[in-house]
């Protein structure tokens, strides 16, 4: 269903609630909230046509700060509640604010099934690789060996990589962004809303108290340009301070090259296409890791049109109703196996 646009233009303040924002000073959540406000202005969504749902955790406080409909639910179940809202009222723009613990640990099942069904909701997955609200336990996105209050000797388990889960669940939209990168992040949020189906946006978010600088090696302005690549639809995959580095195909793998070196030219550099149904390349791009010398992919990695669950539910009802004269319970019962006592 088309997002409802109204002629009266909305400003940031129209999306802000009157509640005092209680996140820690310096928390990445502030920036995410700001990006969401900006995206809504760009989309000119009617505040009453927006529902922001959340589970439990620091990021899940976000609905309280939106002047829209908001529902702060229970741990891990936000995706299921959001699914219910969207199926009941497909005309609403439905967002889920969630974290790595909320969606990938306790709510993992709801997360993958929402993605599999392709319900038209936008999942903002704030990944700070820590449990903040319970004060510093490791999360399912922490690297092996991560030391935390609940892993004093380091974890002995490997993390989930959100794109693998999302694409493994047949995700049709996956994007990644950085909390403090307001300009790109707000555009990516708007892209997520425009996509019909479940949009998963992984946000590298900093927890200033319990896991400060966890993404620093990637997002610090000093080297962000060299360690990230902003993927843009239809554009060459080039990056770097001097925009002289590129991603090329190397057999079944990817390779990072410097344009003009080793015989590589701009011609060899891949062009990003988020819309291919085959997700092989999207997964490869999404799994590029600076530890292996690759830049981390930022931007909309995958964006494919497919049937949306909420629309299909409505369509099926319309189809059945167009072929039946039954309009009420009485109609239904009277056409069944009945007998009359006279």
Partner 1 sequence: MSDQVQIKDVQDIVIRFSGDSGDGMQLSGTLFSSLSAILGNQIATFPDFPAEIRAPQGTLSGVSGYQMQVGKSVYNSGGKSDVLIAMNPAALKVNAKHLKPNSVIIIDTDSFAKRDLEKADFKTEAPFVELSLTTQQIVAVPISTLTKESLSDFDLDMKSKIRCKNMFALGLVCWLFNRPIDVVNEMLSNKFSKKPILAQANLTVLANGYNYGQNRDMTVTSYRIESLNMEKGFYMDVNGNTATAYGLIAAAEKSGLQLFLGSYPITPATDILHELVKRKDLGVKVIQAEDEIAGVCTAIGASFAGDLAVTTTSGPGLALKGEAIGLAVMAELPLVVVDVQRGGPSTGLPTKTEQTDLRQALYGRNGESPIVVIAASSPTNCFDSAYWASKLALEHITPVILLTDSYIANGASAWKIPNLKNYPQIIPHTIDQYSGSDWNVATRDESTFARYWAAAGTEGYTHRIGGLERDYKTGAISTDPDNHQKMVDTRKEKIARIANFIPEQTVLGEESADTLIIGWGGTYGHLREAVELMNRGSKKVAFTHFTFISPLPKNTGDILRKYKKIIVAEQNNGQFAGYLSEQFSNLPIVKYNVVNGQPFTVSELTDFFTKEIEG
Residue 163 DSSP code: H
Annotate each residue in 68-87 with x if it binds partner 1 (CB under 8 A) or - if it does not, as one string. xxxxxxx--x--xxxxxxxx
Region 293-332 residues binding partner 1, contact defined as CB under 8 A: 313, 316-317, 320-321, 324, 326-330, 332
CA dihedral 224, 95, 71, 47 (to 10 degrees): 110
- Using the minimum distance from each CB to partner 1, give the nearer residue, 65 or 138: 65
Does 48 bind partner 1 (CB under 8 A)? Our answer is yes
Among 25, 152, 263, 336, interactor with partner 1 by CB under 8 A: 336
Does 271 bind partner 1 (CB under 8 A)? Our answer is no
Cβ neighbours for 338, distance < 8 A, ≥ 6 positions apart: none
Joined together, the tokens standing for residue 261 give 């070196």
Annotate each residue in 167-186 with x if it binds partner 1 (CB under 8 A) or - if it does not, as one string. --------------------
CB half-sphere exposure, 228, CA atoms < 13 A: 23
How many residues belong to the chain?
342
Among 27, 41, 45, 63, interactor with partner 1 by CB under 8 A: 63
| Min CB(44)–partner 1 separation in Å | 15
Cβ neighbours for 126, distance < 8 A, ≥ 6 positions apart: 28, 29, 32, 58, 59, 97, 98, 99, 100, 179, 203, 205
| Min CB(133)–partner 1 separation in Å | 12
Among 147, 266, 271, 334, interactor with partner 1 by CB under 8 A: 334
b/e per residue, 296-333, with b = 16+ CB within 10 A?
bbbbbbbbbeeebbbbebeeeeeeeeeeeeeeeeeeee
Cβ neighbours for 222, distance < 8 A, ≥ 6 positions apart: none
Does 233 bind partner 1 (CB under 8 A)? Our answer is no
Among 1, 3, 10, 17, interactor with partner 1 by CB under 8 A: 17
Q: Which residues bind partner 1 (CB under 8 A)?
A: 17, 19, 46-49, 51, 53, 63-64, 66-74, 77, 80-89, 91-92, 109-110, 113, 313, 316-317, 320-321, 324, 326-330, 332-334, 336-342
């Amino acid at each position: 269903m088309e997002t409802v646009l109204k002629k009266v233009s909305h400003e940031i303040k129209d999306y802000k609630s009157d509640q005092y924002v209680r996140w820690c000073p310096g928390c990445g959540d502030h920036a995410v909230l700001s990006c969401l406000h900006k995206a809504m202005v760009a989309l000119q969504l009617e505040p009453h046509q927006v529902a922001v749902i959340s589970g439990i955790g620091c990021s899940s406080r976000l609905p309280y700060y939106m002047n829209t409909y908001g529902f702060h639910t229970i741990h891990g179940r936000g995706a299921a509640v959001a699914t219910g809202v969207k199926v009941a009222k497909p005309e609403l723009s439905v967002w889920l604010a969630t974290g790595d613990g909320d969606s990938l640990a306790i709510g993992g099942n709801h997360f993958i099934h929402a993605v599999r069904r392709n319900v038209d909701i936008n999942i903002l997955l704030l990944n700070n690789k820590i449990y903040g609200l319970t004060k510093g336990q490791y999360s399912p996105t922490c690297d092996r060996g991560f030391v935390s209050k609940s892993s004093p000797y380091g974890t002995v388990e490997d993390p989930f990589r959100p794109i693998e889960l999302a694409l493994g669940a047949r995700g049709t939209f996956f994007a990644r962004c950085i909390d403090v990168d307001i300009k790109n992040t707000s555009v990516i949020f708007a892209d997520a809303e425009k996509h019909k189906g479940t949009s998963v946006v992984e946000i590298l978010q900093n927890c200033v108290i319990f896991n400060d600088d966890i993404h620093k090696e990637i997002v610090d302005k000093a080297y962000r340009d060299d360690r990230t690549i902003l993927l843009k639809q239809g554009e060459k995959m080039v990056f770097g301070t001097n925009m002289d580095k590129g991603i090329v195909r190397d057999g079944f793998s990817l390779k990072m090259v410097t344009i003009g070196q080793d015989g590589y030219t701009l011609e060899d550099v891949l062009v990003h296409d988020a819309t291919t149904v085959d997700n092989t390349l999207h997964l490869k791009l999404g799994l590029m890791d600076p530890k292996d010398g690759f830049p981390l992919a930022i931007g909309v990695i995958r964006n494919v049109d497919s049937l949306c669950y909420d629309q299909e539910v409505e369509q099926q009802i319309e189809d059945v109703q167009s072929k039946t004269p039954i309009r009420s319970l009485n109609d239904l019962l009277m056409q069944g196996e009945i007998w009359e006592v006279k």
